Amino acid sequence: MNDPGRQIGATSKRWHTIGTAVLLFANHKIAPYHGKNRLAFSAFLIVFNGGQLVNGFQRGNPGNISSPAMAYNSNMDADSHLSEREREILRLAATGASNKEIAARLGISQFTVKTHLSHIFEKLGVSTRTEAVSRVYLPAAPPEDLAPNVTAVPRSKIRLAAGLLAGLGLLALFITMLLPLLRPGQDAPIAAAEVPRWQTAPELPAAQDAPAAVTYDSAIYLFGSGVWRYLPLAERWEVLTAPPVDLSGAQAAVLGGEVYLAGSCAAPGQVWAYSPPENAWRQAASLPVQLCDSALAALDGWLYVLGGWDGQNESAAVWRFHPSEGRWEKADSLPRALRGARAVSLDGKLILIGGSSADAPSANVWQYDPQSERQTGAAWEPRADLPQPRSGSAAAVLAGQVYLFGGSLKDGSPAPALQYSPAQNRWSPVDAPPDWQGGTPGLAAVETDLHLLGGLRGGQPSSSHFVSRAVYIILVPLIP
C-alpha cells in the first residue's frame, strides 16, 4: 500500500517554496440526496506552508481523521533514528490526538505513550509535540545544490504554475462529483453512493458468521471458531492461539494493550483477555451476573458491558471494569432492557445501536456520556433512530463516522448498510459489496480502510473478505 505521507515527502524539494495541501474526504459521504440535488461530503485540509503547520479546515460533516497524510521529511531518518512505533505515535500526535486517544488507537497505556514521546523529544532535540511534528512532517529544505535553481525561478511564475495546477485539479474533482447529479432521468431516490468500490481481499482461514473483530497495532484480530490475525500490508492471515473456552458469539474490545472478550452465551458472565504481543490468554474478573449477548466497548480506560441476556430476560444493566482495580461496578442503566445491541466509543462517549427486546428488534440509538453521569447522575440521551429496527449488526468507527453492517430486520431479512454522522445526528445508506449476502460479519477499520469479514453466503457461514477505501487523499499544491 502506498504511503501518501512519503509521496509528499518525495516531492517536497520540488514544492518547497509552494507548500502542499492535503484534502481528505470520507468517500462514503459522497451521495446525492433526492429532492435537494446536493452533495454531502466531508473534506479535511492540512496545509504545510512556510514552516508552519496550519490547523485543519473542515467542510460539511467534521470528523477526526485517524489516518493522516503528512509530508514526511525522509531526511530525518539518518539523524533521528526514530523507531517505527515512535513514528506511528508522532504521526497520530500530528493529527491533534491526545495521549489518551493515541493510547486507545494503538492499544497501549497512556504512560507508554508519554515514554515514547519523551524519547522522541530527546532524539529530535525538541521539547514540545509541535516542534517534533514540525521537524518530522514538514517538507525538508532542498539540498544546497538545488537551491540556486529554486531561488532563480521568479515567484510570480511559481504562483502562476501552482495556481493553474490547483485550479485544474479542483475543477476535475468537482466535475467528477457533479456529473452524476446532472444526468437526466434520475428522478427516483438514490439509495446509496456508487463509491467506494469494494474489492476482495484474502479469504478468512475458516468460514465465520458473527465473529468479533478489532484493530490492534495496524492489524486485524478476528475471534470466532478460532483466532486469526490479518496483516493488511502483507495481505496475509496468521493463525493464533485459540481461547481455553468456547467464546463463540462474544464481543471484543481493546483496552490497555489487551483484547477483552465477553458476552458469549457458551460462557455467560466470563471475561477473557488476549495479549497480542504474547499471543496468550488469561481469564479476567467475571461479571457479577451471568450475562451473554451483551454489547462491549472500551472508553477512558474502562471496559463496559451493556445489556444482554441473563437466561430468562433481557437486561438493562451496565457494568464497567477497570483493569487496575480488578473489579466490576455498576454504571447508569440502559433506558430499556436490550440484547444483541452494538456499542462503539467515539469522542469520549459510547454510542449504543439497535438490539432487541422481547424478540423484537429496536431502532433506538443511545449515547452514554460518563461526564454527564458524574455531574448529574443521568448518562444517557437519545440520538437519531435507525431507519429500521435491527439487531445483531457489526459496527466500527472510521474518520469520525460510525459504520453499521449486517444484522437482521423485523421480518428476518438482511439489514442494509448504514453510516452515522454524530455531528449531524443522521443515518445514511452506504453501499455493501455486491456479492455480500448479509449475516453478522466482523467489521474493522484499519487506517483509511474498512474490512468486512465473513457473514452469510447461501444461508451458511462465509469466508468472504472485502475491503473498501473509506477515506480518499488528494494532494493539491498551494500558493504561500
The model's pLDDT over 299-323, given as tens digits with 9 standing for 90+, comes to 999 999 999 999 999 999 999 999 9
- Among 298, 294, 242, which Cα is nearest to 268's? 294
Phi, psi for residue 193 in degrees, rounded to 5: -70, 150
Q: Is residue 410 pLDDT above 70, yes or no? A: yes
The model's pLDDT over 132-169, given as tens digits with 9 standing for 90+, comes to 877 776 544 444 444 444 445 566 666 677 677 777 77
Domain 204-463 has CATH 1.20.1530.20: no
- Is there a contact between 239 and 205 (Cβ–Cβ < 8 Å)? yes
Q: Which of 80-89, 247-256, 340-349, 434-443 has the lowest mean pLDDT?
A: 80-89
Average pLDDT over residues 172-193: 55
Q: Is residue 50 pLDDT above 60, yes or no? A: no
Split at pLDDT 50, 70, 90, the class of 73 is low
Q: Answer yes or no: pTM beyond 0.75.
A: no
Instruction: Tell me the β-bridge partners of 349.
Output: 346
Distance, in Å, from the CA atom of 91 to the CA atom of 86, rounded to the nearest integer, reads 8
Instruction: Tell me the β-bridge partners of 457.
Output: 460
- The residue ranking higher by pLDDT, 458 or 284, is 284
Q: Is residue 239 pLDDT above 90, yes or no? A: yes
Question: Helix, strand, or coil here: 7?
Answer: helix
Give every CB contact of residue 179 below 8 A, 6+ residues apart in sequence: none
Q: Can you give the residue ranges of every domain in the chain?
A: 4-187, 204-463
| Conformational region of residue 434, where left means phi above 0, alpha means psi within -120 to 50, and beta covers everything else | alpha
Q: Return the CATH class of domain 4-187.
A: mainly alpha
- Is there a contact between 93 and 132 (Cβ–Cβ < 8 Å)? yes
Q: Is residue 257 pLDDT above 80, yes or no? A: yes
Average pLDDT over residues 2-27: 40
Strand order across the 52-59 sheet: 52-59, 43-49, 20-26, 471-477
- Is there a contact between 292 and 309 (Cβ–Cβ < 8 Å)? yes
pLDDT of residue 440: 92
Strand order across the 280-283 sheet: 251-255, 258-262, 271-275, 280-283
pLDDT of residue 163: 72
Helices and strands of the chain, counted as H and E runs = 9, 34
Task: Show the cell assigned to 304.
Answer: 463496559
Task: Show the cell assigned to 20.
Answer: 502542499
Distance, in Å, from the CA atom of 60 to the CA atom of 50, rounded to the nearest integer, reads 28
Distance, in Å, from the CA atom of 94 to the CA atom of 87, rounded to the nearest integer, reads 10
